[in-house]
């Protein structure tokens, strides 16, 4: 989890912390030519080599055959050749999953966790280990599970094929097919948090993969290793991004592995930290996926692509960083993203409203298969950090408050997911209301009330003297009426209950205290 983060600037990204395709082997036989391509993916890493190959192959073919049928056959094969790299990135719809941490003083039991997952219609989870009890509880649920090799086990696995095989036997083979394990994370943010293990990271991945191959599970279980976005340097504009050159001896063979096995680059993306560390350069709306006017969008001066949110810009920076190393067909999966609902005095934007807005908009953005400006429509499946608040985590207050739920299963806030699908059944949008914050400045409340009753086009006539909602006659009560009326009028869309920070969403009906529309 977020052991390292990046600071994303609209002008420049400065990082503050270090933080299968199956091998294709076939023969194309022609009268005087026998060509074997043992790995197309290698060829596609070098476009010029690919072009030379295709042109040379065409002239060789043309010189030996004038058959129209053979010519058409060749062109069909060539077309397929060029389409193959796209098939990985474009396949399937994006999904939303959740991370399940365990730094909780009153950790729910495995059956309780699975009951919550079922109740919320959550179909994808990522574990930070391979907890046996939880894997058994997940059996026969159909929930797709990503298990992890913890960082403290990485050195042993990376130095011993036998140790890796034993790990796979105990934590994977013992549970499939009853438990639907679909991926293995080998370590987490190793390059930026456990640099002494970096040299053996790829060995660990290969050893785990060999064990899956031996068990005939390599086709259904993908392997990768989550990275902090801080390994990407010079990240805005995204088109000039590149991976920290220090890690090229690790990144290049890892990307070759991901490419050859049809796996994905796993990336942890935290716009909260990018915003927090930007010293005001990044607008809050840009970090929260809120709508921006065209003149506020960030534009990549090299590609002229427009960016409306930090999340897409970071993901595209990763795509461009891979392209810098000549890898252009590896999809990205975001293994962690979220927003804290509470913080200390230096974390004023770690609020319930911002966490709700970010995660609701993130879920909608992902499930709409929006993709990114560089790869529109290409799935970027994402795991939200995280299912539960982890009260035992060290560090600032925000570290303990990333969860969607408390340990007792109660939601920290109610997600606004109208039209986003059935995931998270705690979507009780019809039971949410907009009210004034208890500590709101009266002058700001009055200004917001004036806006709601004026440009906001709320019918505030019930607030006039002698009308049903005049009493209590104070700015807090009247503002709550107007704010909630606007919120309901806007179909409770994310961001419609903000009013420059003086309003918040609640599940408590304010009409219990004052008259207000429902």
3-state secondary structure at position 264: coil
Measure the CA–CA gap between 121 and 112, rounded to whole angstroms.
14
Residue pair 52/46 in contact by the 8 Å Cβ criterion: no
Q: Which residues contact 289 (CB under 8 A, 6 or more apart)?
A: 308, 309, 311, 357, 358, 361, 362, 365, 494
From the list 299, 298, 319, the residue with the least C-alpha distance to 243 is: 319
Alpha helices in 188-241 (DSSP H): 190-193, 201-214
Chain-centre distance of CA 500, in angstroms? 28
Choosing from 112, 297, 336, 399, which is the catalytic residue? 336
Q: Which residues contact 361 (CB under 8 A, 6 or more apart)?
A: 288, 289, 290, 494
Choosing from 112, 189, 297, 471, which is the catalytic residue? 189
Residue pair 294/300 in contact by the 8 Å Cβ criterion: no
For residue 189, indicate whether it is catalytic: yes
Tracing tokens 């499930």 back to the chain, one arrives at 367
Q: 329-356 burial string, b = 16+ CB within 10 Å, else e?
A: bbbbbbbbbbbbbbbeeebebbbbbbbb
For residue 471, indicate whether it is catalytic: no
Measure the CA–CA gap between 505 and 8, rounded to whole angstroms.
28
Task: Cite the active site residues.
Answer: 189, 336
């Amino acid at each position: 989890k977020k052991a390292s983060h990046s600071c994303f600037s609209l002008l420049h990204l400065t990082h503050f912390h270090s933080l299968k395709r199956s091998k294709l082997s076939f023969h194309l036989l022609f009268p005087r030519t026998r060509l074997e391509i043992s790995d197309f993916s290698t060829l596609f890493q070098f476009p010029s080599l690919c072009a030379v190959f295709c042109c040379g192959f065409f002239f060789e073919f043309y010189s030996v055959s004038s058959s129209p049928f053979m010519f058409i056959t060749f062109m069909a094969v060539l077309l397929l050749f060029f389409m193959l790299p796209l098939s990985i990135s474009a396949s399937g719809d994006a999904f939303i999953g959740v991370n399940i941490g365990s730094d909780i003083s009153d950790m729910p039991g495995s059956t309780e966790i699975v009951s919550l997952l079922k109740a919320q219609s959550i179909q994808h989870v990522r574990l930070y280990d391979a907890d046996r009890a939880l894997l058994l509880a997940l059996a026969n649920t159909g929930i797709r599970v990503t298990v992890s090799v913890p960082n403290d086990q990485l050195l042993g696995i990376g130095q011993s094929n036998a140790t890796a095989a034993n790990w796979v036997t105990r934590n994977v083979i013992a549970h499939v097919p009853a438990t639907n394990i679909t991926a293995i994370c080998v370590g987490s943010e190793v390059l930026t948090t456990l640099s002494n293990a970096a040299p053996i990271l790829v060995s660990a991945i290969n050893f785990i993969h060999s064990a899956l191959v031996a068990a005939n599970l390599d086709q259904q279980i993908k392997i990768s290793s989550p990275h902090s976005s801080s390994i990407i340097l010079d990240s805005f504009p995204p088109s000039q991004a590149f991976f920290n050159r220090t890690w090229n001896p690790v990144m290049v063979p890892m990307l070759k592995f991901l490419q050859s096995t049809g796996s994905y680059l796993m990336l942890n993306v935290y716009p909260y930290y990018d915003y927090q560390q930007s010293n005001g350069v990044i607008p809050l709306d840009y970090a929260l996926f809120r709508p921006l006017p065209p003149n506020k969008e960030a534009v990549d001066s090299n590609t002229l692509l427009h960016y409306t949110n930090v999340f897409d810009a970071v993901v595209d920076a990763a795509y461009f960083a891979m392209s810098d190393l000549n890898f252009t067909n590896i999809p990205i999966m975001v293994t962690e993203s979220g927003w804290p609902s509470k913080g200390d005095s230096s974390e004023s934007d770690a609020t319930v409203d911002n966490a709700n807005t970010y995660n609701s908009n993130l879920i909608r953005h992902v499930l709409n298969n929006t993709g990114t400006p560089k790869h529109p429509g290409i799935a970027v499946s994402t795991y939200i950090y995280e299912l539960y608040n982890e009260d035992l985590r060290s560090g600032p207050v925000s570290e303990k408050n990333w969860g969607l739920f408390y340990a007792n299963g109660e939601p920290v806030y109610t997600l606004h997911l109208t039209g986003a699908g059935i995931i998270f059944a705690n979507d009780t949008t019809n039971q949410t209301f907009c009210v004034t914050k208890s500590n709101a400045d009266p002058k700001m409340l009055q200004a917001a009330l004036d806006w709601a009753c004026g440009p906001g086009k709320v019918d505030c006539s019930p607030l006039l003297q002698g009308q049903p909602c005049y009493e209590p006659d104070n700015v807090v009560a009247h503002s709550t009426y107007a704010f909630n009326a606007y919120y309901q009028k806007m179909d409770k869309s994310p961001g419609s209950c903000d009013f420059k920070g003086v309003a918040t969403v609640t599940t408590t009906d304010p009409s219990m205290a004052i008259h207000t529309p429902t």
